[in-house]
Amino acid sequence: MSYVRRHHNLLIGESTAERIKKDFGTAQAPSDGIGHTIHIKGRDLVNGVPKEISINQGQIAEALSEPIGTIIEGVRIALENTAPELAADIVDQGIVLTGGGALMAGLDEFMRDETGLPVTVAEDPLTCVAIGTGRAMEDEVFRGVLLTA
């Protein structure tokens, strides 16, 4: 939303921004610098009237670069503060991306390039954490730990 507002003087809603991110968002600019071009509609901030503009995946990647950079920095900080035994497991088995952000095109490759570690996307990234937590809650071994955490 902020990128479109700053660079195109166009006000778009959260649902439009989310749709653009989900359908066309990419962690890295396309190899040709442009990728797919899409048309978006919003309100022109200069004239106050509805307006349609075209943006491409290169611009979307630029708009997403700051939040993706924040994610990468958070991963780096977490890795720096990880116990040596766990760090050894991460080197061997890698990082598994979960949640909706894991579905962003190229995020796994970008994180792999930035961390030098193997990175994969979970089989069902949207629900795997909830399912795993539920299974752990059913297991007597983990129940006490999860309830006190």
50-54, 95-99, 129-133: the lowest-pLDDT one: 129-133
CATH code: domain of residue 45: 3.90.640.10
pLDDT above 60: residue 69: yes
pTM (predicted TM-score): 0.78
92 and 138 co-located in one domain: yes
Task: Tell which of 11, 29, 62 closes a domain.
Answer: 62
56 and 107 co-located in one domain: no
CATH code: domain of residue 93: 3.30.420.40
Domain contains 132: yes
- Provide the number of structural domains found in the chain: 2
CA gyration radius, the chain:
19
91 and 137 co-located in one domain: yes
* Residue with the two structure tokens 């503060």: 81
Collapse the DSSP code of 54 into the 3-class scheme (helix H, G, I; strand E, B; otherwise coil) and give the result: strand
Confidence of residue 136 (pLDDT cuts 50, 70, 90): confident
98 and 137 co-located in one domain: yes
| Domain span at 36 | 2-62
Confidence of residue 133 (pLDDT cuts 50, 70, 90): confident
49 and 13 co-located in one domain: yes
pLDDT at residue number 1 = 92
pLDDT at residue number 108 = 95
pLDDT above 90: residue 74: yes
pLDDT above 70: residue 147: no
Residue 133, C-beta contacts closer than 8 angstroms, at least 6 positions apart: 146
44 and 7 co-located in one domain: yes
